Chains A and B, each alone.
Chain A
């Protein structure tokens, strides 16, 4: 796996965007009535969760015609506070999109902290566009 490094050009307040497939299992209604993304939305079996830097793109570009998907945001400071990094990618096959980043644990982070980190990122995320199933 490519060694990733944190993109220090991003501040903790910068916003990251991540699409969420219109699959009702990928979110749930919290007891307080708000819609909460599942931690699964912030996981990848290869430990690299794709996101886009909001100020380097547009919502329309990120949605990329996927009109039924939802879109959530999370600030860069959230994964960093969980000892994750937000890294640029330049591997063959990576999206040719300068706003693309991956959230990933740094080498050496205990595997046992991965699920809790994904849950915290999901709970900290905010909906920008609800998935089609939740639009009224």
Chain B
């Protein structure tokens, strides 16, 4: 289990000459941070073969990367996701709102795939490499939080970052 009490250092604002860093998770600043952290801890405790189909435990890197991603998405104003284990060691974050859906799957190798669905059922799928920039989700987040969501309003180049 990663040290969920602490966010990566680059999440903290740089002070002006301060000698100390306030070790406060950005994720904790969101209303849903505690329950999300608790949920990640629960999932990290799932045993080998948790699904009866031989799945390995949820991968620690996937949990750590999910935590980082949730910190970023929380700052962008996203509501609390449904956090789901995926057979094979990954995790999935899910949001549903006004008929629109976002699914973000975090793989054990830290790569990220996402699926966006609008109220009409139109879908858009893409991926972020394991070295990818989670800022790629800015446009998806803005789209999700807006009214009158349609896939055609989503300004993503080709779904690969």
Contact = CB atoms under 8 A, between A and B. Distances in A.
Interface of A: 19, 21, 23, 25-26, 28, 31, 38-40, 43-46, 49-50, 64, 66, 69, 111-116, 119
Contacts, number: 83
Given A40-B86, A116-B115, A45 B108 contact: yes
Contacts of B114: 115
A125 to B, nearest CB: 15
Chain B interface size range: 20 to 34
Given A39-B103, A45-B87, A119-B123, A21 B52 contact: yes
A111 B117 contact: no
Interface in B68-102: 82-90, 92, 94, 96, 99
16 contacts: A19-B53, A21-B51, A23-B84, A25-B83, A38-B82, A44-B53, A45-B87, A45-B90, A45-B107, A45-B108, A50-B54, A66-B52, A111-B113, A111-B127, A115-B113, A115-B125
B137 interface: no
A101 B94 CA distance: 28
B60 to A, nearest CB: 14
A59 to B, nearest CB: 14
Interface of B: 39, 50-55, 82-90, 92, 94, 96, 99, 103, 105, 107-108, 113-115, 117, 123, 125-127, 159-160
Given A23-B84, A49-B87, A69-B52, 19 more contacts: A19-B53, A21-B52, A25-B83, A31-B99, A38-B84, A38-B92, A39-B115, A40-B105, A44-B53, A44-B55, A44-B87, A44-B88, A45-B89, A50-B54, A111-B113, A112-B113, A115-B103, A116-B115, A119-B123
Given A19-B53, A115-B103, A28 B96 contact: yes
Contacts of A116: 115, 123, 125
Contacts of B113: 111-112, 114-115
Nearest to A25: B84
B86 A112 contact: no
A54 B105 CA distance: 29
